[in-house]
Structure 1
Amino acid sequence: MLSWDEYSEDANTPTNPTVAAPAAPSPAAPAVTEPPAGNTVPAASDIFNGVDLDAAEITAGLEDLEMTGARVRAEDKRIINATSDVNQVVPIKYDWAWQKYLDGSQNHWMPQEISMAADLALWKDPNGLSEDERRIVKMGLGYFATADTVVANNLLLSIYKHITAPECRFYIGLQFREELIHAHAYQYCIESLAMDDGEIWNMYREQPSVARKAAWSLKHTEVINKPEFVTGTPEADKEFLKNLISYYVGAEGIFFYCGFAAILQMGRQNKMTGVAEQFQYILRDESMHLNFGIDLINQIKIENPHLWDQEMQDITTRLIAEAVMLECEFARDMIPRGVLGMNANMIEQYLKFIGNRRLTQLGLKELWKGIENPFPWMSEIMDLRKEKNFFETKVTEYQQAGALSWD
């Protein structure tokens, strides 16, 4: 074992400064030895200076590994069920995924950068917010406090391991980190407002409209979370595709929008501006997550057209309709009366508008005819240009949103 009393960076420097070092002998000329003949492997004892390692044991079995020598080709890559090496990113095939990874890597923020002082003062003021406005803040934070953790766990435990395109894995890894930052942001808001009494944290178990959204999301991980689940058959691949649709399109593409619209509307009226700014940063991230998920699903459809049969299209339409219905229920619970210039009917119209948008992004027919966006300012905040997926625009550059502004 190393001892700092015995160790010295310079072998000729004494470790005890009070004892003079003996004079160093004149260095002798190094002995000239012949290099070993052939490709001789040094003995383990020579390399590890006496540590008990057996070189033969270390290399045992390595010669049995199959080394084909075949190089990875871009055309061999697939989103799922690829036989190419998932460890080798280059050559890049999915430029849209790689570009999103590059863009997202420049988009870093932390919750503590945003001051919550004004929010705390307003929250503590008995006349600062109405009860309906307080309900919006509580229910918004109550749902989101666990929603992003549910999404992050699904990414890490269910989705990542079945995606065989390395450049897509890069973005999923980045998204996982962003989901944790979002969960951190909600925690930061809750603790800054001294809401840590258990009501908010347990809302996804105890508030029916919140619990049903969480249960709907968790239901779609049951099958693919099983250790024995693997893709590679039409049945398994469809189950995996249902997971992607329920999470990227349902949870992130629909479930987030009522809470975001209500909180951002408060920010536009200079109320709870710290919470609203956190939500605006998060919404910017989530629009990119949704964009990636839509592209991912559409690419799987292209590579596996047999999966996108009429049955799968009907399942997708039903999943989107269910998500809109559950979010409308949440909206009526969150906004039981008109407040902030919005009401549950307007939110419901907005959610049907969003639902139609999701259907058309996947190449499906709209369910709700003649629906317009009652909150055009949401599109401006979110920058819907980033919601255009690769298959609509055929471009791979998505500009980052500029400086946040409530104007």
Structure 2
Amino acid sequence: MTSNTAIADATGLGEIQRGAPRVNVEDKAMINARADVNQLLPMKYRWAWEKYLAGCANHWMPTEVSMQADIALWKSPDGLTPDERLMVKRNLGFFATAESLVANNLVLAVYRNITNPECRQYLLRQAFEEAVHTHAFQYICTSLGLDEGELFNAYREVPSIADKDAWALQYTRHLEDPSFRTGTAEADQDFLRDLIAFYVVFEGMWFYTGFAQILSLGRRNKMVGIAEQYQYILRDESL
């Protein structure tokens, strides 16, 4: 059984060890580290720091993208077919809360199990990007004058969206469970399984399917403002 002290140290919330030796870079690890998780330097995973810097350089805000053409097209009775309108609303309905679910996974589940400071730094940058993505869907909804309840409550009203989100949430709940700790072969494998399920299937396959739907409209010069924001979101996801 892992002691409470060990659990606290793994998160960086343990008692400060006055007079403890300085961090040895060899003791740093992605999970199950023996080093203080609050000390960024000396750095072991330079690639994680480079990812963090790339994310910062990649910064954008939704309000930088004009929605005027989208507004005109959406208001036009002949701008989109009924199927295209339904696809746009279903697509936005999925993403409107899916980005929040990703942020929850990063902040409440993954972060607490990662014991490397530079990797944590990048996770914090990723969490901010998820906030920007949620902002994008608020901006789109407001710009087009859509029913905000229809979009943001879709994950509780549309069965296909609810099923996908419920499937993904189980993996966040598993990692967020206070009794879960890495450190054994079985627990480490569970951690890897949960990451693959959430970030390969949910944020990988299902997100990219949604990107393709909107980008296909953009290639036909429809809903170009939304498509541009999706391109930025896709760029964030691809870093």
> Fold-level match, TM-score > 0.5?
yes
Question: What corresponds to 1:258 in structure 2?
Answer: 209
Question: What corresponds to 1:173 in structure 2?
Answer: 124
Question: What corresponds to 2:190 in structure 1?
Answer: 239
After TM superposition, the structure 1 = structure 2 runs for residues 304-319 of structure 1, keeping only pairs within 5 Å, are none
The total of aligned residue pairs comes to 225
- 8 Å CA contact retained: 2:24, 2:42: yes
Root-mean-square deviation (CA, aligned residues, Å) is 1.5
Question: What corresponds to 1:282 in structure 2?
Answer: 233
Deviation at 1:196, TM superposition (A): 2.2
Local SS of the residue matching 1:220: helix
Structure 2 CA distance for aligned equivalents of residues 66 and 283 of structure 1: 43
- 8 Å CA contact retained: 2:99, 2:130: yes
Distance 1:197 1:78, change over 3 A: closer
Letter in 1 for 2:166: A
- 8 Å CA contact retained: 2:106, 2:127: yes
Question: What corresponds to 1:126 in structure 2?
Answer: 77
Which 4+ stretches in 1 moved above 4 angstroms? Answer: none
**1:157 paired to 2:78:** no
Letter in 2 for 1:102: L
- Residue by residue over 1:330-373, the C-alpha shift from the partner in whole angstroms, topping out at 9 and shown as x without a partner, is xxxxxxxxxxxxxxxxxxxxxxxxxxxxxxxxxxxxxxxxxxxx
Structure 1 CA distance for aligned equivalents of residues 75 and 16 of structure 2: 66
- Select the residue among 192, 206, 210 that pairs with 2:157: 206
Letter in 1 for 2:147: D
- Residue by residue over 1:22-59, the C-alpha shift from the partner in whole angstroms, topping out at 9 and shown as x without a partner, is xxxxxxxxxxxxxxxxxxxxxxxxxxxxxxxxxxxxxx
Structure 1 CA distance for aligned equivalents of residues 28 and 214 of structure 2: 42
Deviation at 1:223, TM superposition (A): 2.1
Question: What corresponds to 2:38 in structure 1?
Answer: 87
Deviation at 1:67, TM superposition (A): 3.6
Letter in 2 for 1:283: L
Structure 2 CA distance for aligned equivalents of residues 223 and 274 of structure 1: 37
Structure 2 CA distance for aligned equivalents of residues 225 and 122 of structure 1: 43
Deviation at 1:167, TM superposition (A): 0.5
Letter in 2 for 1:104: G
Question: What corresponds to 1:190 in structure 2?
Answer: 141
**Greater RCO between the two (CA within 8 Å, min separation 6)?**
2
Question: What corresponds to 2:92 in structure 1?
Answer: 141
173-182 or 261-270: which moved more?
261-270
Deviation at 1:265, TM superposition (A): 1.1
After TM superposition, the structure 1 = structure 2 runs for residues 386-397 of structure 1, keeping only pairs within 5 Å, are none
Deviation at 1:65, TM superposition (A): 6.3
Structure 2 CA distance for aligned equivalents of residues 186 and 65 of structure 1: 42
Local SS of the residue matching 1:151: helix
Pick the structure with more helix per residue: 2
Structure 2 CA distance for aligned equivalents of residues 152 and 170 of structure 1: 14
Larger Rg: 1 or 2? 1
Gaps of 5+ in 1: 1-63, 289-407
Distance 1:65 1:137, change over 3 A: closer
- 8 Å CA contact retained: 2:51, 2:122: yes
Distance 1:93 1:129, change over 3 A: same
Letter in 2 for 1:146: T
Question: What corresponds to 1:103 in structure 2?
Answer: 54
Local SS of the residue matching 1:256: helix
Question: What corresponds to 1:360 in structure 2?
Answer: none
Structure 1 CA distance for aligned equivalents of residues 188 and 218 of structure 2: 42
**1:76 paired to 2:5:** no
Question: What corresponds to 2:6 in structure 1?
Answer: none
- 8 Å CA contact retained: 2:141, 2:148: no
- 8 Å CA contact retained: 2:109, 2:173: no
State the identity as a percent. 57
Structure 1 CA distance for aligned equivalents of residues 108 and 18 of structure 2: 29
Deviation at 1:284, TM superposition (A): 0.3
Structure 2 CA distance for aligned equivalents of residues 96 and 246 of structure 1: 23
Deviation at 1:197, TM superposition (A): 4.7
Local SS of the residue matching 1:223: helix
Gaps of 5+ in 2: 1-14
- Residue by residue over 1:72-100, the C-alpha shift from the partner in whole angstroms, topping out at 9 and shown as x without a partner, is 12221110010101111112111111110
- 8 Å CA contact retained: 2:100, 2:134: yes
**1:224 paired to 2:175:** yes
Deviation at 1:201, TM superposition (A): 1.5
